[in-house]
Amino acid sequence: MNAELIVDWTRCEGRGVCLDLLPGSLRPDDWGYPLAPHPGVRILIDGDSYEAATTAVRECPRLALRLATPS
């Protein structure tokens, strides 16, 4: 299943839990906030990382993440 990881930037404080869980989908920016690995702003999650992404949504200490699936 493909999905998009959506960050509520007003909540995110760059604690880094999602960066640990999704090393293939995210990298830290200059200040430690999650960034898609390639240019472009959408953080796309493929089938292989979907499980880890749901964990990241659940474990984010700031509750700043949600997964949007194409309808």
Partner 1 sequence: MRVQHRAVGGPRVTSLLGPHAPTLSAHLDLFGPLPDCGGRELLDQIAQAGLTGRGGGHFATARKLALVAGTPNAIVIANAAEGEPASSKDRVLLGDAAHLVLDGLTLVARIAGARSTHLAGPADLLDGVVTTALRDRPERHVRLHAVPAGFVAGQETSIAAFISGRPARPVTLTRPLMTGGIAGRPTVVLNVETLAHIALIARFGAAWFRAGGVPDDPGTRLVTISGAVREPGVWEARGGTTLGEIIDVAGGVTQPVQALLIGGYHGCWVPWTPRAATSALTRAGLQEYGATPGAGVVVALPAQRCGIRAAAEIAAYLAGESTGQCGPCRNGLPTIAQHLNDLAQSRATDETVRELYLLSDMVDGRGACRHPDGTARFVRSSLHVFAAEVADHRAGRCTAPPGRAAELPRRRRLY
Q: Any contact of residue 17 with partner 1 (CB under 8 A)? A: no
Site string for partner 1, 18-57 (x = CB under 8 A): -----------xxxxx-x---x-xx---------------
Beta partners for residue 35, in sequence order? 27
Q: Which of 1, 2, 13, 61 binds partner 1 (CB under 8 A)?
A: 13
Phi/psi class of residue 27: alpha, beta or left (left: φ > 0; alpha: ψ in -120 to 50)? beta
Q: State how far the Cα of 71 lies from the Cα of 6, in Å rounded to an integer.
A: 15
Judge whether 35 and 27 are in contact, CB under 8 Å: yes
Q: Any contact of residue 11 with partner 1 (CB under 8 A)? A: yes
Chain contacts with partner 1 (rule: CB under 8 A): 7-14, 29-33, 35, 39, 41-42, 66
